[in-house]
Amino acid sequence: MREKRRFCFTIFLITATALLAGCATSQKQILATNQSQVALRSIQSRAFDTTDKKLMLRSVINTMQDLDFLIQDSSLDLGTVTGQKFHGMIVVKMSVMVKERNAKQLLVRANVEYGIKAVEDPKTYQDFFTALEKSVFLTAQQVD
């Protein structure tokens, strides 16, 4: 009887530990990035020589639509645009933020999610900024 109770207790301990450990790994994802934050920011951001935030946001929207995204949300005040598209059975989500960098420039930052993974490959973002450059007739400048 006593052994049985001990056995049950052991099972309970193992299950509880596993569950708690599971909790820790899933919550770790909240603040996790693969790249260093500085490197990632540099990959995802470009500066443009304009201060017309509304026009820039409209160009971002046009570019995203040309890239097959369905726009799901936008806000001029906050300077954000969010969209999604389908890649087979995978959902690709993208959000872009436009904000003032200094008196003469705007900073555009994009981030993309592919299914349950963050896209951190520089080429993907470069492709987006190349398309955006064509739409705004301005050069996208690398920022540190």
d(CA 144, CA 41): 8
Q: How far apart are CA 114 and CA 138, in angstroms?
A: 28
Closer to other proteins by CB, 11 or 91: give it.
Answer: 91
123 binds other proteins (CB under 8 A): yes
**One-letter identity of residue 13:** L
**Quick check: 40 binds other proteins (CB under 8 A)?**
no
**Residue from 98, 89, 90 nearest 63 by CA:** 98
Chain centroid offset of residue 54 CA: 22
- Distance in Å, CB of 142 to other proteins, minimum: 17
CA–CA distance, 119 with 125 (Å, rounded to integer): 9
Using CB under 8 A, count the residues that bind other proteins.
38
Q: Which residues from 47-106 bind other proteins, rule CB under 8 A?
A: 54-55, 57-58, 61-62, 65-68, 70-77, 81, 85-89, 91-92, 94
Amino acid occupying residue 33: T
Q: Give the residues lining the site for other proteins (CB under 8 A).
A: 54-55, 57-58, 61-62, 65-68, 70-77, 81, 85-89, 91-92, 94, 112, 114, 117, 119, 121, 123-125, 127-128, 131
